[in-house]
Structure 1
Amino acid sequence: MKQAYSVVIADDHEIVRDGLRVTLVRQSALKFDIVGEASNGIETVSLIKRYKPDLLLLDVTMPLASGEEILLDVRRWSPETKVVIFTAVTTPRVLAALVAANVDGAFAKGSAMDEFERTLPIILNGGRHIAHAIIERMDTGPDPLHELTPRERQVLVIVLSGKTNPEIAEQLSISPKTVDKHRTSIMAKLDLHSVSELMGWAAREGLLARQETDL
């Protein structure tokens, strides 16, 4: 058995990080080494790059980066890290998109932690667990973003946060021209013709929950 699993805890609320830390310490059969804690997306990615931990406990709606952005960076910089997300989002399509992002575990914030404690060994051994509370809320209908590439999804999330093309280009380390190409492709695939149409569509699909929900 592994001596100790390295862990990064990422949540913008200190009380939540404290609770997760206590939960890990309470695990009698497993040992954990909490190598870092983050309160925003940029700090999270920095810790992942530095430590490449065995486990990331991730709040998917933190400041400075969306859950999708963080997940993409984690898979890029530390593909072996097990990612367990915690969310209070209740919009079915948003939950379905998060689960589809290849996470190893997903749990609802505010629910009892016994399910997380019980299934954590399974996750660390290569299994996957989506909490019953998450499954109940998920929409079984088609994903409205299914035609978008991972990069287009990433650009879309940042566009919805209100950033301009130059700001998006700087954040993603690509050219403004490339950003414009992605935006044009996104609008064509979604059959939308203006920013106001895009924002209205995103609101109807629940995709603004990431910016509107304070978790």
Structure 2
Amino acid sequence: MSTKSIRILLVDDHALFRQGLKFLLHSQPRYQVLAELGSLDQVLPCLQEQSFDLMILDYHMPGGESSAMLAYCKQRYPDMKVLALTGANSGIVFKQMRDAKADAVMQKEASPDELLLCLQQILQEHSSQTILSAAVQEQIDASETDLTPRELQILALIYQGHPTTEIAEQLSLSAKTVDKHRENLMRKLNVNNVVQLIHRVQELKLL
């Protein structure tokens, strides 16, 4: 990877942010942005059409659940590096991206130099360790929850307003299994219905 061009896929639903990121990447001689996507449901068809060395993935995206998509891509395309970006300031979100096997997790407020350095590190990195900034690691250490990665995926989709049938389809689960996870979430977060669940997510800044 040291001499050839790095083929990049940008996945972010904010066109202005994508353009700024693309401009930054194209300022580097080796980086080539080959595709830009604004929705998660466009990712798999794109990956089936062409190969990429690197995907830069926004956490909050329409068309699916980002950590589930990230985990699938890392399993299906293990040679493709993934940088997970988020505007959130939540240890739960950072942990979710780390557990989905992102090669690095970075906040969108990072400087251009920090982002370029991070990309250089993950493109040269051969270990399975996720690269995390000190601030991200501190947030992960401070977050306390006994929610499983699957429960966090379902919680994110519930928070986005998806019904059980859509959640089941996106995560390849049965509706009965999704309902059981919903019950567990309400029990663990000590709420009685979905409205209270959403309020609790906002109160605890889980997503």
Instruction: State the AA in 1 paired with 2:4.
Output: Q
Instruction: State the AA in 2 paired with 1:24.
Output: L
Q: How far apart, CA to CA, are the structure 1 residues paired with 2:135 and 2:186?
A: 33
Of the candidates 129, 132, 135, which is equivalent to residue 131 of structure 2?
129
Q: Please state how far the C-alpha of 1:177 moved relative to its aligned partner.
A: 2.1
* Alignment length (residue pairs): 203
Q: Which residue in 1 is equivalent to 2:102?
A: 103
Q: Which residue in 2 is equivalent to 1:16?
A: 17
5+ long unaligned stretches in structure 1? 209-215
Q: How far apart, CA to CA, are the structure 2 residues paired with 1:84 and 1:53?
A: 13
Gap change, CA 1:173 and 1:130, over 3 Å in 2: closer
For residues 112-127 of structure 1, the aligned pairs below 5 Å read 112-126=111-125
Q: Please state how far the C-alpha of 1:123 moved relative to its aligned partner.
A: 0.8
Mean alpha-carbon deviation: is it higher for 126-135 or for 85-94? 126-135
Q: Which residue in 1 is equivalent to 2:181?
A: 182
SS of the aligned residue for 1:12 comes to coil
Q: Please state how far the C-alpha of 1:94 moved relative to its aligned partner.
A: 3.0
The alignment's TM-score, normalised by the length of structure 2, stands at 0.81
For each residue in 1:148-190, what CA deviation from the matched residue of structure 2 results, as whole angstroms up to 9, or x when unmatched?
2x33332222122222222222333433223223323333444
Q: Does 1:160 align with 2:159?
A: yes
Instruction: State the AA in 2 paired with 1:175.
Output: S
Q: Please state how far the C-alpha of 1:66 moved relative to its aligned partner.
A: 3.2
Q: How far apart, CA to CA, are the structure 2 residues paired with 1:14 and 1:114?
A: 21
For each residue in 1:120-169, what CA deviation from the matched residue of structure 2 results, as whole angstroms up to 9, or x when unmatched?
22211126532355446x2523431x342x33332222122222222222
Q: How far apart, CA to CA, are the structure 2 residues paired with 1:49 and 1:143?
A: 38
Instruction: State the AA in 1 paired with 2:15.
Output: E
Instruction: State the AA in 2 paired with 1:178.
Output: T
5+ long unaligned stretches in structure 2? none
Instruction: State the AA in 1 paired with 2:54.
Output: L
Q: Does 1:84 align with 2:83?
A: yes
The CA RMSD over aligned residues, in Å, is 2.6
Q: Does 1:40 align with 2:39?
A: yes
Residue pair 1:108, 1:133 contacting (<8 A) in 2 also = no
The alignment's TM-score, normalised by the length of structure 1, stands at 0.78
